Chains A and B, each alone.
Chain A
Amino acid sequence: GNSVTQMEGPVTLSEEAFLTINCTYTATGYPSLFWYVQYPGEGLQLLLKATKADDKGSNKGFEATYRKETTSFHLEKGSVQVSDSAVYFCALSEGSNYKLTFGKGTLLTVNP
């Protein structure tokens, strides 16, 4: 079956530091890949997505590139802010049923 593995947290950074959160996946076909963000006390928001190999998703300074050869979709941001503190989930969906398989989530804390 499908699965998503993302780096264990928590991750603690200082403001303006570089962020990488690793995500790798296992799928039988050609999934779509997503990053969702959950701010404290809120629901999930779609951060970015990529639907095919070599696609780069980007939003709010975050980027992730769909790497089929390494089955990865790592999230990066060049300069994090305190307001980026949240839990980040990597996810995939495959086929016409659109069901999402989530990673375990990575808690990011950014200190001023």
Chain B
Amino acid sequence: SAVISQKPSRDICQRGTSLTIQCQVDSQVTMMFWYRQQPGQSLTLIATANQGSEATYESGFVIDKFPISRPNLTFSTLTVSNMSPEDSSIYLCSVTAGGNEQFFGPGTRLTVL
């Protein structure tokens, strides 16, 4: 399995600002994903981060709100733009590493005031 780290682990932000979350993997991986887990809820896929090209977004998520980069096979960033309290969630990145199971990072706990 891959070892995944995320920065920051948590943050408290003011509404209207933006936060960029980093996801670093210790080995090259096939696919990277970003999920959101709202308080007390399940996980919802935001997008698939594609290496060297634009991310593929799920219904209800748009690039202007959640721009994603993936410059290489071990790193990706998710930006939460123009934040509102409704964006308070845990954001998790995950990867596949050859098989069909996904491995998750520890998550970034975001609180928007």
Contacts and interface: CB of A to CB of B under 8 A. Distances in A.
Interface in A14-61: 32, 34, 36, 42-46, 49, 51
Contacts of B101: 32, 34, 46, 49
B7 to A, nearest CB: 14
Interface of A (DSSP majority class): strand
27 contacts: A42-B106, A43-B92, A43-B104, A43-B106, A43-B107, A44-B43, A44-B94, A44-B104, A45-B104, A46-B102, A46-B103, A49-B101, A89-B42, A93-B100, A93-B102, A98-B96, A98-B100, A98-B102, A99-B45, A99-B48, A100-B45, A100-B94, A100-B102, A102-B42, A102-B44, A105-B41, A105-B42
Interface residues of A, number: 20
Contacts, number: 47
B49 to A, nearest CB: 12
Interface of A: 32, 34, 36, 42-46, 49, 51, 89, 93, 97-100, 102-105
Contacts of B42: 89, 102-105
Interface residues of B, number: 20
B33 interface: yes
Given A43-B105, A44-B43, 10 more contacts: A43-B104, A45-B104, A49-B101, A93-B102, A97-B48, A98-B31, A100-B33, A100-B43, A102-B42, A104-B42
